[in-house]
Structure 1
Amino acid sequence: MDIEEILSGLEGDERDLVAWLADMNEDDALALANRMLFEDTKDPLRVLELCRMAMDIVGKRFEEGEYFLPELVLAGEMLDQVGAIAKPLLADGEGGGAKKLGRVLVGTVHGDLHDIGKNIVSFMLDINGYEVRDIGIDVPVATFIDEVRSFKPDVVALSGFLTLAFDSMKETVEAFEREGLRSQFKIMVGGGQIDEAVRAYTGADAFGVNAVEAVNLCNRWLRVAA
């Protein structure tokens, strides 16, 4: 992932929002997000996608040693604030009272503290009719095993933004195999730098590039009519 490549596809307020969030410019970023949502009536899902792009940049800077844990925490706090504003607006138009279509277990794998992408996926699955259990960030393999046994999901969604998360995802999938659980559900992986090569490495069934794709995968796997 290249930072300039992310920004090059954006213009105006969208570019400013991503850049300001990634640069920890909290006051300007939150003010702009509010204006985009309430004055410009920007699609809340698009604003959340811009937040995910900003976290991609933050994750890259963390891996390169430019950012450290305090920056990750601040970025998460800013993105949570934007999400808290945007999500209710999205729910108003998405019909959140849909019948539950299946169970999805969602968590960020151990060694990774990112949660904005996971939170967006959890929210989108919920308002599209799925029963979601979000077990948080930095989740150990043993916890995934326990949660699978108790929740009995149809789909397990493993999230991670840092490249070190790829090994954690692989380790988690292999643990499902060892415990004889792998055949009981589908596995999707998602995060800023995940592609088909990473999907194959981890042993997951599919990867999703955004929250809409995560919903589409669940719909396809569970044969939900469009």
Structure 2
Amino acid sequence: MNEMLEKLFEYVELGKINQASPFPPQLKGQPGADEYTREALDKGITPSDIMNLALIPAMNKVGQKFSENKIFVPQMLLSAKAMNTSLVHLKPFFSSGEVKRKGTFILGTVFGDLHDIGKNLVGMMVEGSGWEVIDLGVDVKTEKFLETLQRYPDAVVGMSALLTTTMTNMEPIIQAIKEVSPQTKVIVGGAPLTPDFARSIGADAYGSDPQDDVVWLESLVS
């Protein structure tokens, strides 16, 4: 791998966002994902190589470490922010079609629930693995999911809930989605959920953490 891509991989994994970022302490004052991505593009490294050889592998490694309890939410958020800083430089190439996305992922916290930390982590990890993420935010009603699915008919849908009182709101949304688009795949997640509950409400998959979502999405396009 190109030395610059290796450095970008390392700094995304460690959560080094830019030169001004004080974290991690051992890299204070050094350039971060922001500067290395700009420099890589200036030196002719293709956006596809930046995405496929540095960002996606780095976030896959971060997700694996999180699943194994080797890092925790704060470190994961720093890595996701570093990745997002890098993606800012690549987004013009997504628009032009020079860099291909793996698919579209519609994501939202279901109606009645205002929690978004878990949803945001999932969105960052999924985007870092090469998908376009349409984040609908929190307190998302059935109609919003359906409207967005009309615009992105080939998308996969992800739903989050953090409360036992709101996780039951997933079932009517899933039923409505399946009625109008039986082929649409839906994954659900959140602290109170279980695989059995996910099956009982008609979801196609359950994600216990962001890496679960990434692995499952990869299985759909592999």
TM-score, with structure 1 as normaliser: 0.59
Equivalent positions of 1:5-154 (< 5 A) are: 37-39=23-25, 46=66, 50-51=72-73, 83=77, 85-90=78-83, 99-154=100-155
Matched, 1:194 2:193: yes
In 2, the alpha carbon distance for the partners of 1:127 and 1:219 equals 12
Please say if residues 108 and 159 of structure 1, whose CA atoms lie closer than 8 Å, have aligned partners that are also in contact: yes
Residue identity matched to 1:149: Q
In 2, the alpha carbon distance for the partners of 1:195 and 1:151 equals 28
In 2, the alpha carbon distance for the partners of 1:181 and 1:170 equals 15
CA displacement at 1:90 relative to structure 2: 4.7
Q: Secondary structure at the match of 2:106?
A: strand
In 1, the alpha carbon distance for the partners of 2:84 and 2:134 equals 18
In 2, the alpha carbon distance for the partners of 1:221 and 1:136 equals 24
Residue identity matched to 1:87: A
Show the counterpart of 2:216.
Answer: 217
TM-score, with structure 2 as normaliser: 0.60
Please say if residues 161 and 190 of structure 2, whose CA atoms lie closer than 8 Å, have aligned partners that are also in contact: yes
Residue identity matched to 1:209: S
Please say if residues 149 and 155 of structure 2, whose CA atoms lie closer than 8 Å, have aligned partners that are also in contact: no
Q: Secondary structure at the match of 1:164?
A: helix
Residue identity matched to 2:174: V
In 2, the alpha carbon distance for the partners of 1:116 and 1:133 equals 16
What per-residue deviation string (whole Å, max 9, x for no partner) do you get for residues 105-132 of structure 1?
A: 0011101111111111111111111011
Pick closer, same or farther for the CA change 1:40–1:115 going to 2, 3 Å. Answer: farther
Q: List gaps (5 residues or longer) in structure 1.
A: 1-33, 52-78
CA displacement at 1:92 relative to structure 2: 7.6
User: In percent, how many aligned pairs have the same letter?
Assistant: 27
Aligned residues: 155
In 1, the alpha carbon distance for the partners of 2:210 and 2:128 equals 12
**Higher mean displacement: 136-145 or 190-199:** 190-199
CA displacement at 1:165 relative to structure 2: 2.4
In 1, the alpha carbon distance for the partners of 2:122 and 2:110 equals 15
CA displacement at 1:86 relative to structure 2: 4.3
In 1, the alpha carbon distance for the partners of 2:134 and 2:119 equals 11
In 2, the alpha carbon distance for the partners of 1:140 and 1:117 equals 18
Aligned-residue CA RMSD (Å): 3.1
Q: List gaps (5 residues or longer) in structure 2.
A: 1-20, 28-60, 91-98
